[in-house]
Structure 1
Amino acid sequence: MKLIFYSAEDFCGARNKKLLKKYENQKIETPFTSPPSLWIYPKQPEDISLLNINDHHWMMSQESTGERSSWTRDYHLPIGDRHMLMISMRATSYGEFYSDEHNVPQECEKTVKAFMENVHVELSEEAIQQREKAISQFQQTAEKA
């Protein structure tokens, strides 16, 4: 779980800092500049969902810039004590192609769900043992939080 938080902070947190710095500089020249849309990303255990997909325990996190119908969802599967499989899905609408009548968020949800339902992972015996150890450590960490 720490890896998920570290990666999100490294990517989204760094972007937010750059956006805010740019905004502060622009505000000096043009005081009526609108503040930027900041990235929303996982920062605590409650921001991560636990899912059972095809007998595997996945962790799901989501990032968003607050733009309409735009998000990135990452599915994380611990496959060892030092390894994690990650599948990243990005849903977005491209400006002129966006239309409320098409219900982009609902269509993206259906597509991502259908895709993930068809993901099957076969682990070696050693990987299964490492995965069980990683899940146990994750559950202990989640219980403490």
Structure 2
Amino acid sequence: MKLSIFLTYFALMTSIMPVTAAPKSPCCTEMLSQEHSKHIIENFLGVWHGDYSLADKTFDPNVVHVSDRMPTGKGSEPLKIEGKDGMVAYVKRCREGWKEYTFELLQFISDENKISIQWKMNGTTGEDMRIKT
């Protein structure tokens, strides 16, 4: 079954990659430039596309992500993900069961050290999909 899901993701960049922890760059001395924001988003989406080598460049080692959308057989359950490795494990878990799984950036807004993105997930369920469709 083919699915398209529109998502809005708001991230305080202090929880993804604090400006102080990000590599020093001419585009990012005091606040995020549009180019640097786009680069962070590309890395973020790259992780969701399965390139886990981008995690070190994308997530602070102490990132905390709270989600209430982890489906179970009885609905969804609240889930608190801690640390970069926990975030990568979460992304891997979300990718399970999909034959095709991609994200498309629709638009983004950035201001100082915050980024909000609207993205679209396109996927085709695989044979081992655990979520009822």
TM superposition score normalised by structure 1 = 0.25
TM superposition score normalised by structure 2 = 0.26
Structure (1 or 2) with the greater helix fraction: 1
Structure (1 or 2) with the greater strand fraction: 2
Larger Rg: 1
